[in-house]
Amino acid sequence: MISSSLTVFRYELRKSFGIGTTIFWLFVILFPTILQLLIDKYFVTTLDLSATILAAMIPGAVCLITILVAMTPYLSAELEGNLWPYVATRPYGRTAIMFGKYLVAVTRSLIAGLLAIAIIFPSTSLNQLNIDFPQPFETVDTLAPSVTSPDSEETITENTELSLNTKTEDLNASQGYPLWLALVCIVALSSICYSSLFCLLGTIMYKRPMIIAIIYTLIVEVIISFLPVVANGLTLNFYLRSIYVRIMGLEFEQPVLKALFENPNFLSQSSTSWDLIFVGLLTFSFLFAANILLRNREYHVGETL
């Protein structure tokens, strides 16, 4: 099955780079940079606002649109092209076609997200707002005057404690991943998770997969995930934005963002490790349900979609 899935992956990945598809794909990749250039021209942004906008533009737009086009119609394309009998009669053919196209969607989404990040930072003012890695303690220079002076051992101890306290405060103030690295992490997670979600949606509603996927995304992943209800814990967006805010270590300055993100119902109260476990369980559940449904459901070749 693994060999068959990889064969499908290699074939479908080459096939996906058609002229029309590639032009549209490149436009989607460049869209965040164009929008950020317009923002730089007419507005002054802070780190928290830029981080929120980027999360909406790259993982929330570039990756989702790429996955929507690559993954959602995977089953309807096989049925419309009258290729289903060849897929269904081969050993593990249904599972291989699903996992092969899932890998294509993840790969294309990763490439699109990483290219968008690589283009937008050198081209815009975002590098000026980026957070650097916390620097390690540098106590040699601060201790040198104390060692060379004729002061007592007590003075050396006090200076050492003061130096360590100062450095610890600086470290705590600059904790968090750089903006670009936090985006890379979320792009990777979004590619893996949303590809599985759209795979399930494309399997369930194969007659109108893209329309159903768009409606589901707007209602569940946008509206419900932002509501202070228990149901938002069943959405991917809820956990992904919690991980993003936590690894960035953001302190929000905008009143609206501060009120929104400091709401305990808006972000997961679990640790990042538990959020990753929940996201992994949701991803596995989506793929498992799609595979079970695909293997046990009867499909009619050439039916009107």
pLDDT tier at 151, thresholds 50, 70, 90 = low
Reported as a single tens digit per residue, the pLDDT across 181-228 is 888 999 999 999 999 999 999 888 888 888 888 999 999 888 888 777
Q: Which of 58, 68, 8, 77 is closest to 198 using CA atoms?
A: 68
Greater pLDDT, 82 or 26: 26
In a domain, 158, yes or no: no
The owner of tokens 């009120």 is 259
CA distances from 115 to 15, 18, 128, 196 (A): 20, 18, 20, 22
Reported as a single tens digit per residue, the pLDDT across 44-70 is 777 777 778 888 889 989 999 999 998
Question: CA-CA distance, 1 to 6, in Å (whole number)?
Answer: 9
Question: CA-CA distance, 194 to 43, in Å (whole number)?
Answer: 32
Position 273 pLDDT exceeds 60: yes
In a domain, 289, yes or no: yes
Per-residue pLDDT at 300: 65
CA distances from 261 to 60, 180, 257 (A): 17, 20, 6
In a domain, 303, yes or no: no
What lies within 8 Å, CB to CB, of 9 at 6+ separation is 99, 100, 101, 103, 104, 107
pLDDT tier at 168, thresholds 50, 70, 90 = very low
* Mean pLDDT within 35-39: 87
Per-residue pLDDT at 64: 93
Region for residue 82 given its phi and psi (left: phi exceeds 0; alpha: psi -120 to 50; beta: otherwise): left
Residue % of the chain over a pLDDT of 70:
71
Position 269 pLDDT exceeds 50: yes
Angle of helix 93-123 versus helix 179-204 axis, rounded to 10: 150
Per-residue pLDDT at 66: 93
Question: CA-CA distance, 190 to 196, in Å (whole number)?
Answer: 10
Position 153 pLDDT exceeds 60: no
In a domain, 218, yes or no: yes
What does the block give as tokens for 106?
Answer: 């993840």
Whether 266 contacts 228, CB under 8 Å: yes
The owner of tokens 């196209």 is 101
Per-residue pLDDT at 160: 46
Whether 122 contacts 73, CB under 8 Å: no
Domain that holds residue 210: 2-132+172-296
Alpha helices in 124-271 (DSSP H): 140-148, 153-173, 179-204, 209-216, 236-248, 255-261
* Mean pLDDT within 277-281: 93
For 162-177, letters b (16+ CB in 10 Å) and e give: ebeeebeeeeeeeebb
What is the number of alpha carbons within 13 Å of residue 108 lying toward its C-beta? 32
Q: Mean pLDDT of all residues in the chain?
A: 77
What does the block give as tokens for 73?
Answer: 């119609």
Per-residue pLDDT at 199: 92
In a domain, 141, yes or no: no
Per-residue pLDDT at 16: 83
**Size (the chain), residues:** 305
Q: Which of 86-100, 265-279, 281-295 has the lowest mean pLDDT?
A: 86-100
* Mean pLDDT within 225-248: 83
In a domain, 167, yes or no: no
Per-residue pLDDT at 127: 63
How many CB atoms neighbour CB 252 within 10 A?
Answer: 19
- How many distinct helices (H) and strands (E) make up the chain? 14, 0
Whether 97 contacts 74, CB under 8 Å: yes
In a domain, 155, yes or no: no
Per-residue pLDDT at 247: 83
Whether 78 contacts 97, CB under 8 Å: yes
Per-residue pLDDT at 74: 82
What does the block give as tokens for 230?
Answer: 């228990």
Per-residue pLDDT at 268: 81
In a domain, 140, yes or no: no
How many distinct structural domains can be found in the chain? Answer: 1
Per-residue pLDDT at 261: 67
* Mean pLDDT within 127-133: 52
Position 266 pLDDT exceeds 80: no
